[in-house]
Amino acid sequence: MRPYVVGLTGGIGSGKSAVADLFAERGVAIIDTDAIAHALTAPGGAAMPTIRAEFGDAVASADGALDRAAMRAMVFVEPAARKRLEAILHPLIRAESERRVVAQTVGSPYAILIVPLLVEAGGDYRSRVDRIAVVDCAEATQMARVMRRNGLAANEIERILAAQATRVERLAAADDVIENDGELAALPPQVMRLHLQYLEYSRHVC
């Protein structure tokens, strides 16, 4: 029996991690595709030999991790490099997330797969998750949170937001919406309601 998988997405600073933590407290397996991407490009990461072969040793730092600044500089000069990097990373992220979904869902009723750019990825991810849950808040709220969390300037955050799907696009893709414009205390009841639903849905998967 394959595990029931809920794809959790939302823009930067929308509150995906805060929501995922609440599902984890209820014993749900959490698989974070961003964490997988980081592990793949950390020192000794499985993607590094291919990345070095494709782009040269200049994109690796002394410890063997991906040098993100060097990679960004390369993408700036040659935008197609981003696609080449994604062509290396995406299949590896996909394989590792599928492996973790199976491994971690033992003893968990279902899995939450955090995919920040799920909507941007189009049909590919939709076919791999049973349900899409979107954490939603106003862009102004995202800006305020990311400024506080990452200390980024407003124009840097605006650039990131402009490269991501819009709120409307994300909501159009959502099966479930977790509203996170208010207090953190508003999250647990919403997560609990969805958790009960997902427990029910996951019983019917075969």
14 belongs to the binding site for ligand ADP (CB under 6 A):
yes
Residues 116-155 that bind ligand ADP (CB under 6 A): 145, 149
Contacts 24+ apart (CB under 8 A), 194-198: 194/133, 195/23, 195/26, 195/28, 198/4, 198/6, 198/28, 198/109, 198/110, 198/131
Reference 75, options 9, 163, 137, 5; nearest CA is: 163
97 belongs to the binding site for ligand ADP (CB under 6 A):
no
Separation between Cα atoms, residue 69 and residue 75, nearest integer Å: 10
Q: With CB under 6 A as the contact rule, which of the stretches 16-24, 53-61, 100-108, 120-128 interacts with ligand ADP?
A: 16-24
CB of 6 to ligand ADP, least distance (A): 15
CB of 1 to ligand ADP, least distance (A): 30
3 belongs to the binding site for ligand ADP (CB under 6 A):
no
CB-CB neighbours of 164 under 10 Å: 19
Q: With CB under 6 A as the contact rule, which of the stretches 11-19, 55-63, 70-78, 80-88 interacts with ligand ADP?
A: 11-19
Binding site residues, ligand ADP, CB under 6 A = 10, 12-18, 145, 149, 180, 183-184
